[in-house]
Structure 1
Amino acid sequence: MATARNRAIDRLRRARTLRDKTELLARETPLAAAPDDEGGWVLDDDASVPDERLELLFTCCHPALASEAQVALTLRTLTGLTTEQIARAFLVPPETMKRRLTRAKSKIRAAGIPFRVPAAEQLSERLAVVLAVIYLVFNEGYGGHDTLATEAVRLGEVLAELLPDEPETGGLLALMLLHHARREARFADGELVLLADQDRTAWDDETIARGRGVLEAAIERGGRGTYVLQAAIASLEIAEHPDWPQIATLYGELERRTGSPVVALNRAAAVAESDGPAAALALVDGLRGELDGYLYLHATRGELLRRLGREADAAAAFGRALELAEREPERRFLRRRLAGG
């Protein structure tokens, strides 16, 4: 920890001028904009200081705000994501997210929360939210926006270098690398390709090996957190012969820790491979109340029903997923499923 803090101090000292910039940004950013303003800062690929954006993330993740508010406001302010995109990430309606952002901005103004780079000893208390922001940026980019995904990986690399003794920074970096290594195979002629159907020769083996190396190092440092767990799952899923019972077990542990219905949905997909579609369908149906507005619940349910030969029910599930889909590759995939493809 002492080594990590000293390295953090060195980096922050090199960025003293950022303090002046952030004071100016505090007056000019969308923090003072109307809640429905779709401004924000677009990522710039020519930053003169490699970790400047990461420092801005730490600056915006102020612990005086609730964690969800920190994540949402930082995404809105720094990444250029729209309110609608952030709402989708949080599985809430856009109007709900707009109200949350407005309340967070009002708290900042009322409490006079300073907009400045935190001291080195404050980095750890902000780390969890910074990790969440980077992960959500990566997820948004993973849907087809390679620039966002690549930038998230770069930020993860800088963060892992900045705080090398924090296992979860390695876990997140490993997770992103293992997914990003398959980016060329996820789409073929503009069409979405599921993992089982991807051309493995298009995977970046060097990046996969690097991701697994980062994961092993995180585990050796005692990493047992949620990002390390997710990276372990990602590594198992891309094995030539995935160990689906083990994957389902790891998803179960991740669900226990997070209480996330999305994680429960992913566990159901693993159960489908280990115990069959009927067992998985029972789990998915138990999540319909919480995830009715989540397209992947209906797409997963459609796949399970199709495997069970319940074509009419599968078509209804794919139709509901199509209503919720916003990205064109996903819409085309669902149309093919509805057409029997």
Structure 2
Amino acid sequence: MNKKGRSLQSYLFFLCVAVIFSCKQDKRPDISNIDLAIKVERFDQELYQAKNKDVKQTDLMFSKTYGSFYADYIQKMVGTPELTGTEVLNILYKDQAYEMLSKEVDSVYPNLNKVETELTETFKYIKYYYPKTKVPKFIAYLSGFAYQVVLADDYIGIGLDMFLGSNSKFYPAIAQSVPLYASKRFTPAYITPRVAEVFAREELFPEIDEDRTLLDKMIYNGKILYFLDLVLPANTPDSLKIGYTVKQLDWAKNYEGNIWGLLLQNELLFQTDMQKIQPFLSDGPFTNGIGSKKESAPKLGYFIGWQIVKKYMAENPKITLQQLMEKTDTQQFLTEAKYKPKESL
């Protein structure tokens, strides 16, 4: 083939790729006309910058500026109801560990531009599907590794000290309360997925107490993950949505049919005994008793529930997201999903 022919072939190849990519993007709704621009207030920076100022004035200023968030911060996150704001501030400002942590957070997050862009896109999608959703204000803080994402009536708090990166020097020191398998997810890439998940679970779709069978819980968590599929930025990896490593996600995909077969064989789908079903819902480094060499993924009930929901939506293309989230009969749901994954040999 001559040079001109090769050039034409290359052009056609990239044109095809562009068309395919464009088609995939076009499946997402147009959110360009939704007026929203999220700004994360940097309480963490303001708090540290006020270190050498009059503590009583600082306490009054924060109480006026941050209202309910500041009250929660003082009484629940870093202090107790018995302590006043000035007492908590004095304790923080005299703590060398707090100063070290503040400087570390500031070095990782000199600004939150990328996070704000991702959150804006995500909440535009949420507003597209649920126009009446009230988007709260966003506040960044440090809680001393106590709270990652907090949702209150009028704010979402983001604990930046819980997103410093998997290799942060601070996380091995707190391994007794936060195991390393969990802190490996404390990376900047997890901020938007975790915020969206907390908002979905606590604000939009709180779990119904009556949903007690394993299947109920699988479908509920599968719906949450499917919701994240639709509202998170398009390039968000599935591993970030469910909290798996890439290897764990590959393992779960490879053994999807085997996991499903295990649930059926042991008649676990309609089981309500938490001792029997908890291993398929619990987080951890792996699922005990499944797989070899501790390679299995945790929360397998979440993963299978996610696949069932995706299969259900593929089989029922006219069902809207709103109808999906409102559907409560999980047995009928499973029947209509026609979910029959093949076992891996």
TM-score (norm 2): 0.28
Larger RCO, structure (CA 8 Å, separation 6 or more): 2
TM-score (norm 1): 0.28
More helix by share: 1
